[in-house]
Structure 1
């Protein structure tokens, strides 16, 4: 591969390099004679603009081999200052940025931690507090053996594998209904509460929260403490292995053990029209008579 032509655009302070064989040179010369030249971009920051409806076609037969210089990277974006942010952005018909893919090392604000990620960004609501501002929706960090992919104000689907929800506060998986303009109203939420793990598996307990039609939380229909594994029904603070915040427990089907030695495990409970039966040891039942009042 050899350099065959350099066209200097001194008026725009830039240069273009056409790389290839003699056939490529002839094609480039033919294109330059039949098509309008590059022009200065009208978007903020200027730059070079191809004539409208023209396109760039890049191809390679090179492998991605570090020792040979990664010759297959036909487009390489590089930052040359520690807070620079190379990006590919998409603009609407008025030249307003709507989406972008950005990679950078450090945040604009020196007081913030280093970002070290590539991000997919889209604009916020045109009627919201941060009108038309590009906002990171998905970010993937680099310089790490395991990349923790993060989302912000984003909804996404996982087809298979593991879904992890990590945060410093409460951690939610929400089941919701969609309304007008994609507004959502929660129906159920799987949540670990906002308590921080303080040792001995305390705090960060699990809750299944139900919501009314207005999207207001009603109660914790089911909860499990992380330290003792206590299960609560209707309570977030169960104090025994099963703690029911209600006035009844129902066993729908009746059953009559055939004898005191019928198969059963300690703690099994059964009932019929005349007795309540409790298995007090393996295959050992006792009963108490039921009376009307």
Structure 2
């Protein structure tokens, strides 16, 4: 990304504050720090600008609060765009001077035909062997000028290593699966939900749902419901009356099975069927059966 003139001037000002003063000459701008005299040089990177002396550092500190009425005096670095499609950025380049990562905030897209971006983004380069070699690409973006910020990732996988991915709150807590449309609009298809039912003690409230949605994104029903209090599971019902309550007129076990004998391996509660019998395991390795007949 090209270094903006505004950003260069801001960095220069901060550098001079750190160094404690400056001197000018036709060849360079110089600043004095202690007993050393340090010279600014022209940046060799694309776009030019000023280069701070190699291996030197800027130390910024403040005792001011972040107060809007006072002009946010504690914002020690402020990058401003002065044209609607300008994009002030902080970028990191490799040893060859090629930008590899950047943090960018801007209002308008480069292409006037695109909708306004209005976001801050973290960008990294695409694959060096791919179609968009060395191009910076938005991986993570946080929009502004909105009460609820739709944070997005692009061409990115999200991994939690030895930690917790948590959705917390007092309302419905959803992990949603959706389809995308124009201008990054989304339409939900499924949600995993801990609902907003009141937490009344005795493990009650905050029940679990698998919610399905219509093509228009309207919630249809909970395909699966689990009561947190007693663990009862409802299929097609949010009020299961037994450990598994199916709100339907059939239950299918697709594969047949014939126990070898009444002492065949099995666990209490196992059910099996074949063309002639229904088998129920009533105790460990203990089966009983009932004959099937046509009518």
Partners of 1:4 and 1:258 in 2: how far apart?
89
Deviation at 1:174, TM superposition (A): 0.9
Q: 5+ residue gaps in structure 2?
A: 1-17, 24-29, 91-102, 110-115, 121-140
Deviation at 1:171, TM superposition (A): 0.8
Partners of 1:4 and 1:201 in 2: how far apart?
62
Residue 250 of structure 1 corresponds to which residue in structure 2? 252
Residue 273 of structure 2 corresponds to which residue in structure 1? 271
**Residues 247-291 of structure 1: per-residue CA shift (max 9 Å, x gap):** 111000111112111111110001111111111111111111112
1:78 aligns with 2:62: yes
Deviation at 1:193, TM superposition (A): 0.3
Deviation at 1:4, TM superposition (A): 7.9
Residue 106 of structure 1 corresponds to which residue in structure 2? none
Q: 1:125–1:22: structure 2 CA closer, same or farther, 3 Å change rule? A: closer
1:94 aligns with 2:83: yes
1:1-293 alignment, distance < 5 Å: 6-7=21-22, 18-19=32-33, 22-24=36-38, 27=39, 54-57=49-52, 60=55, 74-81=58-65, 83=67, 84=72, 85-86=74-75, 88-94=77-83, 137=142, 152-156=149-153, 158-161=158-161, 162-293=164-295
Q: 1:284–1:170: structure 2 CA closer, same or farther, 3 Å change rule? A: same
Q: 5+ residue gaps in structure 1?
A: 9-15, 35-51, 62-71, 102-119, 139-150
**Residues 31-59 of structure 1: per-residue CA shift (max 9 Å, x gap):** 7xx9xxxxxxxxxxxxxxxxx95235265
Structure 2 contact 81–88 (Cα < 8 Å) conserved:
no
Structure 2 contact 264–286 (Cα < 8 Å) conserved:
yes
Q: Relative CO higher for 1 or 2, CA cutoff 8 Å, sep ≥ 6?
A: 2
Deviation at 1:236, TM superposition (A): 2.4
Partners of 1:80 and 1:290 in 2: how far apart?
84
Partners of 1:223 and 1:17 in 2: how far apart?
69
Deviation at 1:20, TM superposition (A): 5.9
Secondary structure, aligned partner of 1:94: coil
Secondary structure, aligned partner of 1:291: coil
Deviation at 1:197, TM superposition (A): 2.5
Secondary structure, aligned partner of 2:50: coil
Partners of 2:107 and 2:199 in 1: how far apart?
34
Q: 1:212–1:6: structure 2 CA closer, same or farther, 3 Å change rule? A: same
Secondary structure, aligned partner of 2:183: helix
Structure 2 contact 281–287 (Cα < 8 Å) conserved:
yes
Q: 1:123–1:197: structure 2 CA closer, same or farther, 3 Å change rule? A: farther
Relative to the length of structure 2, the TM-score reads 0.60
- Count matched residues: 216
Deviation at 1:196, TM superposition (A): 3.7
Partners of 1:250 and 1:124 in 2: how far apart?
56
Structure 1 contact 261–283 (Cα < 8 Å) conserved:
yes
**Residues 124-169 of structure 1: per-residue CA shift (max 9 Å, x gap):** 899xxxx99889949xxxxxxxxxxxx9432355223331111221
Structure 1 contact 98–134 (Cα < 8 Å) conserved:
no
